[in-house]
Amino acid sequence: MSEENRTYELGFILVPTVPESEVDQKVAELKAAVAAAGGTVGAEGTTEFIDLAYRIEKNVKSKKMKWTQGYFGWMKFTAAPESQAVLKKALDANLELMRYMLIKTSAENLVQFKKPKIEAKRDNVSFDEMEVSEEELAAANEDVIEDTHEEVKELHEKLPDVAADMAVEAPSETTEA
* Chain-centroid distance, C-alpha 48: 17
Angstrom distance (rounded) from CA 137 to CA 145: 12
Q: What CATH class has 6-105?
A: alpha beta
pLDDT of 1: 39
Query: Could you read off the pLDDT of 119-158 as tens digits, one per residue?
Result: 666 666 555 555 556 666 566 666 656 666 666 666 666 6
Angstrom distance (rounded) from CA 110 to CA 125: 35
Q: Where are the domains of the chain?
A: 6-105, 134-169
**Max CA distance (Å), the chain:** 101
Rg, Å, the chain Cα set: 29
